[in-house]
A and B are shown apart, each in its own frame.
Chain A
Amino acid sequence: QKEVEQNSGPLSVPEGAIASLNCTYSDRGSQSFFWYRQYSGKSPELIMFIYSNGDKEDGRFTAQLNKASQYVSLLIRDSQPSDSATYLCAVNINPPGGGADGLTFGKGTHLIIQP
């Protein structure tokens, strides 16, 4: 059974600080990794994807992947109240270009940015 584990939170972070979200996955064959943001009552929206070990930065967001430890994280710098949402980690056993049929989602971490 493929599993993606996240701390459900809530994780409370002061405005302007760095929010750190973590995710572990069970299938060592996973090849593609994603972070989605989901506001209450809305569908998830893709924030970042990462395929290779190391860090990937996009604006205020940095995704980190460590395949040996089966661990992926998301850092949000200069956190804003609008970042308050549930963050879903998702992994796919397919490589880039391989399609979305192998996606497994975590339950999400509820992040609260305190003004």
Chain B
Amino acid sequence: GAVVSQHPSRVICKSGTSVKIECRSLDFQATTMFWYRQFPKQSLMLMATSNEGSKATYEQGVEKDKFLINHASLTLSTLTVTSAHPEDSSFYICSVGTDHTEAFFGQGTRLTVV
């Protein structure tokens, strides 16, 4: 498997501000990381695939200019929610891409936009 650390675990921000979430792979050099979003009582929805050294691949309906992803090293990917609004309030979870078919998740970040 892989050990994944995500930070912060919880953040509250004002509407219109930006928030950065970090996802670190602690024991695996990850060329790929995945960012998911989960609304209450809903399934995890893949937002984007983060690729080390290149542009992220976004799922249909996810605004790439709003959810900025940077994967500058093999151990760190960041997701920045720009100009956050209350509808962006959600649980954001990252996972590390390995050869395994299962996801190895970080602890998740609860974002609340007020």
Contacts and interface: CB of A to CB of B under 8 A. Distances in A.
Interface of A: 4, 8, 31-32, 34, 41-46, 49, 88, 90, 92, 94-103, 105-108
A95 B100 CA distance: 9
A99 B99 contact: yes
Interface of B: 6, 32, 34, 41-46, 49, 91, 93, 95, 97-108, 110
Given A103-B46, A107-B41, A43 B105 contact: yes
B107 A100 contact: no
Contacts, number: 74
Nearest to A106: B43
B38 to A, nearest CB: 9
Given A41-B110, A43-B107, A43-B108, A100 B100 contact: yes
Contacts of B102: 32, 34, 46, 49, 90, 92, 100, 103
